Amino acid sequence: MNKITLALSYYDNPEMLRLQFQYWQKYPKGVNIIVVDDGSPNHPAKDVFSDSLLNGVDVKLYRIEENIPWNSAGARNLAFSEASDGWVIATDIDHVLPAESMENLFTKKLKPRRFYSLARRRMVDLKKQEEMHPHRESFLMTKRLFWKVGGYDEDFVGYWNGPFTGFRLGLKRVARCVALDDVWLLLFGYDIIPNASTMSLGRRGSEYDINKNKEMKKPWRRAMKRHRPENPLRFKWERVL
């Protein structure tokens, strides 16, 4: 049986987090869940947690004390740092892994030298789903493989897609991707959950887009060719639960 951790970052998404709990309560025993609150200024994740929601769910909550713009890559570094050895599913807060997918993962034959993409379905409403392309920032891999790549480069935190492209390229240099058709994520949009993700705050084309920053663009391009992150977790953080 595979040892699995689900890792999510959170930023002022209280309703989406409550929905996540509804799905987690249906998971088989043995699943570990890590939520990293990325410095939420208005709705800290700890305010969402309650005994009724926990209801036997094995979840750990961490909080980054600084509200660093677009630090989801740093939050993922923290989650992988604190995860148990074994397999880790990393995805965004607006993506839910249903119990059927988790059950399929428990007994699936997985190769530690591979990383896995997950199928994806968009929620048309709370009951109807439709197939869509996989999410390129959602994957399954071992904790060891994540740190073999070096994690995300926090030199580029604060910029839209800054740390993520380099990580993807670095990962592809050391491991092959395998698609899992019988393990899928459910994407919830703003039309169903208003605070499903932080994308509504705007990144592409704004001052947070690395393509808009002339000083950062050159070292970013160099890093794309040679992904060698240093000094992860450059921020203050604490375990809340």
Q: Are 219 and 68 in contact (CB under 8 A)?
A: no
Q: What is the pLDDT of residue 70?
A: 87
List of long-range contacts for 129-135, beta carbons under 8 Å, 24+ apart? 129/186, 132/187, 134/179, 135/91, 135/92, 135/95, 135/185, 135/187
pLDDT along the chain (241 residues), means of 10: 96 96 95 97 95 92 94 97 97 97 96 98 95 97 98 93 94 97 96 81 71 90 94 97 95
Distance CA 23, CA 98 (A): 6
Query: So what's the pLDDT on residue 109?
Result: 96
Contact 80, 143 (CB under 8 A): yes
pLDDT of residue 83: 98
Under 8 Å between Cβ of 116 and 139: yes
Residues 6+ apart with CB under 8 A from 85: 3, 142, 143, 144
Query: For 46, phi and psi rounded to 5 degrees?
Result: -60, -25
pLDDT value of residue 201 = 53
pLDDT of residue 202: 56
d(CA 156, CA 234): 12
pLDDT (0 to 100) of residue 44: 97
Kindly list the domain boundaries of the chain, sorted by start residue. Answer: 4-230
Cβ neighbors of 231 (< 8 A, separation 6 or more) are 154
Tell me, which fold does domain 4-230 have in CATH?
Answer: Spore Coat Polysaccharide Biosynthesis Protein SpsA; Chain A (3.90.550)
